[in-house]
Structure formats: C-alpha cells, structure tokens
Amino acid sequence: MIKNLRNFPIFLKKELEKPKILLPSKYKKIQNIVVAGMGGSAIAAEVLKEVIPLKIPLEISKGYFLPYWTSKDTLLICVSYSGNTKETLTQFHQGIKKKSSIIVITSDGKLMKEAKKKAIPFIELPKGFLPRESFPFIFSSLIRIFKTLGLTKEVFSFELLEREITKIEKEAKLVARKIKNSFPIISSQYFSVSTRWEDQLSENAKHLAESKTLPELAHNEIESWRKLDKNYSLILLRDCKETKEIKCLFEGIKKIIKKTPILEIKAKGKTKPERVLYLILFGDFVSYFLAKEKKINPKTTDYIKRLKKVI
C-alpha cells in the first residue's frame, strides 16, 4: 500500500496521458451526467464535482436506484473497481432500460463482462489494487471522458504532488501519531476531502472518525462541540486560497474550542484541483500510518466482507 501511495501522482499522470476515448456520436448530445458508484469507486467523482467547472450538471448516485430524472439524455458512468458491486450493477441495468448513454469504468467482473456483451464503451482499470487505491486511475479516467466530450477545458498538473510527496508522507506520519488515541473530527470546506479522510481512517485504520463540512457545520454541529475534550482531536483541512468567509469560520472555531487538540493542514498548489488532491493524498497517508501505529493491517476489510454475505 505504501508503494502505491508514493506512486499516487505518477498514476494520475500516466492515466491522463492515455489517448482520448472513442465514443459514439450520440454521447455528445447528453444533457446531464450521473456517476453511479460506491465507496472508493465514487469518491473521485465527488472530488471532480467540486474542483472543475463542467458545462452540464453532474450527480453522484450511491445506492440501488438512479435519480428519477435519468433518461436517454443522461451520460451514465458506472464505476466499480471490482466490477461486482451490486448497487452499481443494479443502476447499470436501470440505465440500459432508460436508454442512457453508458460508459463503464472497472477492472473486471460482471460489469466488464456485460459491457463487452452489450458493446457498451468501457475503460479498463489496472488490476491488483484495492478499490480505495484506485482513486488516481478513476479520477484520471473521468477527466479523460469529460475532455473527450468537450465538457471541460481544465488543465491538470501533478508536478507539485511529485515534489511534495516525501514531505507529505513525513508530516502525515506525525499527524497519525497525534490522533492515535483520539476520536478525530475532520473539517473542510470541501465535502469530498473530509469524506475521503473519514472513509480512509475507517477502512484502513479501522478508526472511528467524523467528517463535517464548512460552512454547514457552523449552523448546527458546532453547538455539540461544547462537549469536546482531550479525547477528541479536531483536524482542520484548509485551502491556502480560502475566501474571507471560510477563513473567518476556521479562525472562529480555533477561538471557541479550547480543550481539544487542533491540527491544521493547509493545502499547497496554484489551482483548486492541485490543492484538493494534496489534501486527499495527505489523508491517505495518515490513514496508512495510523493503521501501522495501531498494529492493524490496512488491507483487510473483514466486516465489509461479512456484511456483503448477507445481501
């Protein structure tokens, strides 16, 4: 896992350098986008929704049912690293009935088999990774789709991540040690970032955590923080180019919370995608080192496997 984390920027770059995807002409007539996926297969779409301007609406659908408005004018991107995610397969079949323009992103499984059988365009992900490790491949695959369809002109650079990777790893290790014996509450202005941190701490380190997004938490959750003490830790994931309003909220939190350790991590980068990916990678490293601190295997997911057997 650590090797794959260190190669995160390289994976992003190599995948994005692949040629444009060949798609039927009707795909360029779509009016909206739905990305169907769960867990690690869906988070890349959540990130892209927040960091790049698209010409048409994008919705991430997690569950067994597509949005009711999904139609023949919808681009349905079904993402499942394993290719066997039941929720995603269910939405895939619904998309066929609705005559949506479908693209599959997977490494194998039933989804790959059915896409080939029905001559549905697909992107084959490299095998041998954990679903949550597939983030850079799925992220870049989605960008390739959007660029092929002319939905974005965003330019992506991963040079900063390559330069900062050693420093990020070193600092993440220190953060993992500091939060080891606490209940972390992760706060960011980016829903995708705080969610990814919580998910990775849960799945890799088997560590309870909570994620909250600004400015929403300032309207409800903050009232319960009067109960916070030294058994918690507050992780503030900040953008070096925050708006005045977001900056004031973060600084206000620091003044209000007195009994709980606060850790601030500030993203680096000239563009929003760079800064968000910086925070994503930082959190992935933290979850890995936290697992090591607790002497836990970050690769195992016994409870997930046990739960899947009952559905």
Mean per-residue pLDDT, 17-46: 91
Q: Is the dihedral of CA 76, 122, 271, 235 positive or negative?
A: positive
- CATH classification for the domain delimited by 160-293, as one of 3.20.20.70, 1.10.10.10, 3.40.720.10, 3.40.50.10490: 3.40.50.10490
Nearest residue to 40 via CA among 307, 304, 242, 310: 304
Mean per-residue pLDDT, 258-281: 95
Nearest residue to 47 via CA among 160, 138, 152, 167: 138
> Does residue 74 have a pLDDT over 90?
yes
Q: What's the confidence (pLDDT) of residue 237? A: 98
pLDDT tens digit string along 90-116? Answer: 999 999 999 999 999 999 999 999 999
Model confidence at 40, in pLDDT bands (50, 70, 90)? confident
Q: Distance between CA atoms of 282 and 8, rounded to whole angstroms?
A: 11
Q: What's the confidence (pLDDT) of residue 43? A: 94
> Does residue 308 have a pLDDT over 90?
no
Per-residue CA distances from 100 to 56, 76, 165, 196, 238 (Å): 15, 6, 40, 29, 38
Does 2-148 match 160-293 in CATH topology? yes
pLDDT tens digit string along 191-240? Answer: 999 999 999 999 999 999 999 999 999 999 999 999 899 999 999 999 99
Domain boundaries defined on the chain? 2-148, 160-293
Largest CA distance in the chain: 60
Tokens of 195: 């969610």
Mapped onto helix, strand or coil, the DSSP state of residue 7 is: coil
Q: Kindly state the DSSP code that residue 262 receives in the 8-state scheme.
A: E
Mapped onto helix, strand or coil, the DSSP state of residue 62 is: coil
Q: Distance between CA atoms of 291 and 205, rounded to whole angstroms?
A: 4
pLDDT tens digit string along 103-157? Answer: 999 999 999 999 999 999 999 999 999 999 999 999 999 999 999 999 988 888 8
φ/ψ (deg, to 5) at 306: -65, -40
Nearest residue to 58 via CA among 152, 169, 160: 152
Judge contact between 266 and 179, C-beta under 8 A: no
How high is the mean pLDDT of the chain? Answer: 94
pLDDT > 70: percent of the chain: 100
Model confidence at 304, in pLDDT bands (50, 70, 90)? confident
Nearest residue to 91 via CA among 108, 74, 107: 74
pLDDT tens digit string along 160-182? Answer: 999 999 999 999 999 999 999 99
> Does residue 311 have a pLDDT over 80?
no
- CATH classification for the domain delimited by 2-148, as one of 3.40.50.10490, 3.40.50.720, 2.60.40.10, 3.30.70.580: 3.40.50.10490
